[in-house]
Amino acid sequence: MIGELGGVPLYGYLAISVILFTMGTLGVLIRRNALIIFMSVELMLNAANLAFVAFAANYGVLTGQIFVFFVMTVAAAEVAVGLALIVAIFHTKHSIDVDQMSSLKG
Amino acid sequence: MNLTLILFYVLGAVAVLTALGLLVSRSAVYAVLYLVLNFATVAVFYLLLGAPFIALTQVTVYAGAIMVLFLFVVMLLGAEKLPKGKVLPWQRPLAIGLAVVLLAEAGYLLFQRIQATAVLSAPGTELNTTEALRTLALSLFNQYLLPFEVTSILLLVAMVGAIVLTKKEKGEQA
């Protein structure tokens, strides 16, 4: 499997990765719901992971997979803190619309 | 056209469509479910790429733990839908234009680089699943032991941070 990618060319995976990353960026840019913006960031991280694994399989090395493992751990930590922030903001503002989070204090 | 290629095209279509669903869905709960499906298809991509450990981590950590946390917060806040507010009129076209530029740029650079380095691609070394997993584990606990341990501290800090952020101060009204 490793090296020949199981009959699928490398650029197929990279195309999926690029498309998913762009859609994640688009989600961050056009949505107002903080939760959905956060999910779009997760989508972007996932697209980067896919490119990592595709390259790792293409070159027959496992370093890419190790990196993906670390990215996943960092994403888990990020989600824990980010969701706590969103809950805290919701408790003070009673909304998770990012357009309303325009003041630094309270 | 072999079976793997057909599977790849179907999964690719599902991945792109679910990402699109995340972008356009009005309800946050639907968005979470679309994203779970997206993560599951990406996990199958990892299986196709010969990375079973990463695929299972994807399912348990991403599609499992992280998305359940998202779903929990969405339902806890009861903020599935935002009320119609005033939207900047130029925001959406500008964002779509910029995204198209990003897509073209990233696609062009990646494919140009692929063509330049395609000859470097290692010849296929057949690794069976157990052997690949063994190599991954040895690499993780020898060469990357320090990052692995730092990761544990990062998770601890994130946990403490989440508790501090959501805890109410003593004497503070809810």
Q: Which of residues 64-93 of A touch B (CB under 8 A)?
A: 65-66, 68-70, 72-81, 83-88, 90
- Tens of pLDDT along chain B (174 residues) come to 678 888 889 999 999 999 999 999 888 899 999 999 999 999 999 988 888 889 999 999 988 899 999 999 988 887 666 766 677 788 888 989 999 999 999 888 877 876 655 433 444 445 567 777 888 889 889 999 999 999 999 999 999 999 998 887 666 655
Is any Cβ of chain A less than 8 angstroms from the Cβ of B71?
no
List of long-range contacts for B139-146, beta carbons under 8 Å, 24+ apart: B139/A62, B139/A63, B139/A66, B140/A66, B140/A69, B144/A66
Tell me what ipTM this predicted complex has: 0.89
Interface check B135 vs A, CB under 8 A: yes
DSSP-derived letter for residue A7 is G
Q: Among A66, A83, A88, select the one facing B69 at the smallest CB separation.
A: A83
Model pTM? 0.87
